Amino acid sequence: MKMKHVYQIISCLVLFMMVESDLFAQKDFFGMQTITLADQEFALKWSAKTRNDRYMEEFLLPSENFAGFVQKVTVECSQENKSVEDEMRELMAKLAVKKEQNIVFSFEQIDSPVEGEVWIEYVQGNVQGGQSFTMEWNLNRYRLVNNRVVLFRVIHRAYDKELDDFMKVINKKRDKWIKDAASFQLETVKVKK
């Protein structure tokens, strides 16, 4: 093999490795590689920017993955000049449709313990063949920060065998989960361009 071909192969391999590392590296749009709630550290596992300038990041406990997580934290920033009311209206409309489809079991706006925020709580299940195989308790916090609506969502999920008792778990742990979610400061979320 000629030396020219060896250099071309090495160049291709280096380029491939650079592309691969960028494909799996998550861009940190908000300056937060981790989020700590109730002494548990959630690590940034996925991020995206949409065409309409909306930013999203998802955080999981280090031992968990998206296929089988028990807890997840999501942070989103709307495009500029959106209002909290617009974001809420959109979510409530989606939840109403999902309730008609028996995906969402309950949803409501709840009193926010943090001034200047709007909170929505809902329970949903993923239905397959008429049988629920996951159920989630979701808490969404909304706040206007630097001309963007910040959404902070905490999800607790149960699977198969745990489903029968999950509503009891929610009733037992709901106050603690709300307190844990309230500990995060939404005003610290800033889009880094």
What does the mean pLDDT of the chain come to? Answer: 86
List, for residues 51-91, the tens digit of each pLDDT value. Answer: 889 999 999 999 999 988 999 999 999 989 999 999 999 99
Rounded CA-CA distance 179/119 in Å is: 13
Confidence of residue 12 (pLDDT cuts 50, 70, 90): very low
| pLDDT over threshold 80, residue 131 | no
CATH number assigned to the domain comprising residue 54:
3.40.1000
Whether the model pTM is above 0.85: no
Rounded CA-CA distance 36/163 in Å is: 27
Pick the closest to residue 52 from 96, 94, 86 (CA basis). Answer: 86
Give the domain range for residue 48: 26-188
List, for residues 136-171, the tens digit of each pLDDT value. Answer: 999 999 999 989 999 999 999 998 878 889 999 999
In a domain, 7, yes or no: no
In a domain, 71, yes or no: yes
In a domain, 5, yes or no: no
Rounded CA-CA distance 169/9 in Å is: 57
- 151 in Cβ contact with 138 (< 8 Å): no
Phi and psi at residue 164, in whole multiples of 5°? -60, -35
In a domain, 68, yes or no: yes
In a domain, 102, yes or no: yes
Number of domain units in the chain: 1
Question: How confident is the model at residue 164, as a pLDDT?
Answer: 82
